Amino acid sequence: MDMVRNFHMAQGLGETSYAQNSPLQKEVIESVMDITLRSAMEACAAETVSIADLGCSSGRNTLSVVENVIRAVCERRREATQQLPEFMVFLNDLPSNDFNTLFSLVPEFVQKLKAEHDDGGGILVSVAGAPGNFYGRLFPSSSLHFITSFTSLHWLSQVPAGLLNNEESVNKGNIYMSPASLPLVATLYFEQFQKDINMFLRSRSQELVVGGRMVFSIIGRMSHDSHEKINECPLLEALEKSLSILVSQKLVTEEKLDSFNLPFYAPSTQELEDQVHREASFTIDSMKQAHDWTIHEYAPKMLSNFSRAIIESFICHHFGEEIIEPLFETYTQLLCEKLVAREDIGWSKIIVVLCKSAAS
């Protein structure tokens, strides 16, 4: 469990250097901003509007989301000649997140919003940290009006149990649920996903007011077949190949590689729909799927650094720090080769808007 906690620290459920300045993360957020703002304006009609961003990390991208949500809600109130609300903003991540860096940005953020709406006393925006794991309850019942979570939910709470059977790996040579994995591996990953997403939805259902909304984005797969083109993640595929190269160079043992698995699952839209219906507290306002980045839009080094920031702590914990430099040198080279070959290195994202439809 410590390995997973360390891993989450570096991928958006915890502190990360890429999150502070990542153009890739910013692009993901901007791509879902229109639907986020529409949902926020529909959900936030109270005198005091409570907003939570889950898996916020510690960079400016976090506050840009909240800033635009507040601005959109205020604009809707003005159009209706209604009094502007007060705002309570909760920023959630694991306790290990760099909240000090995040909170250092808050005074400027609050003053900017007050200056924009200084037409009768301005607005009140209070910001608080909410450290904790979002696979469980974080807030009081019926206390939130709007929730966002971007690029976090494809990371599971833990590596699925059963991938090691009597210390023998059932996913040899693979580091995630890849196309080369056995059907049993797909089953184990899917079962863990079901447990985690149900816990997430159930917790958010209890925390949202009836009519409150939640917007989240998640890496998904295009196929509804649980073992067809599984996960479709070329960046992870390249990482897996890089580790195999280090095995051939005797920098990593084969046994060490065989026991390494990432807690990553990319669901299909059908799987997400099924879980929402099973939990039964939400209606689906919107669910759409789109293809994301390609290697031709970003330099291989940038993509390599992006991946490194996400998973470095997990790799260090399992393999040791000494392999990091050779691993990511190899990884960058593989990405360069994909660029020369004009191979696509994008993936699919699913954007979901849910409305709390029933008291829980």
Global pTM value = 0.86
Domain that holds residue 53: 16-232+262-295+347-356
Q: Based on the structure, what is the number of domains in the chain?
A: 1
* Domain membership flag for residue 323: no
Question: Is the residue at 222 inside a domain?
Answer: yes
Does any domain span residue 305?
no
**Percent of the chain with pLDDT strictly greater than 90:** 51
Q: How confident is the model at residue 118 (pLDDT cuts 50, 70, 90)?
A: low
DSSP string, 246-282: HHHTTSS-HHHHHT----B----HHHHHHHHHHH-SE
135-164: average pLDDT: 93
Q: At residue 52, does pLDDT exceed 80? A: yes
- 10 within domain boundaries: no
Q: How confident is the model at residue 19 (pLDDT cuts 50, 70, 90)?
A: very low
**Which residue has tokens 């080369």?**
180
118 in a structural domain: yes
Residue 122 belongs to a domain: yes
Q: What is the pLDDT of residues 313-338, one digit of tens each?
A: 889 999 999 999 999 999 999 988 88
Are 327 and 257 in contact, with CB atoms under 8 Å apart?
no
Mean pLDDT, range 21-41, rounded to an integer: 66
pLDDT above 80 (res 100): yes
The SS3 assignment for 213 reads: strand
Is 254 inside a domain boundary? no
Q: What is the pLDDT of residue 320?
A: 94
Residue labelled with tokens 């904790």: 132
Distances (CA, A) of 56 to 103, 133, 240, 285, 320: 12, 12, 28, 23, 28
For residue 11, tell me if it sits in a domain.
no
Q: From 135, 191, 136, select the one nearest 163 (Cα to Cα).
A: 191
CATH value at residue 81: 3.40.50.150
pLDDT single digits (tens) 243-300? 999 999 999 999 999 999 999 999 999 999 999 999 999 999 999 998 765 555 667 8
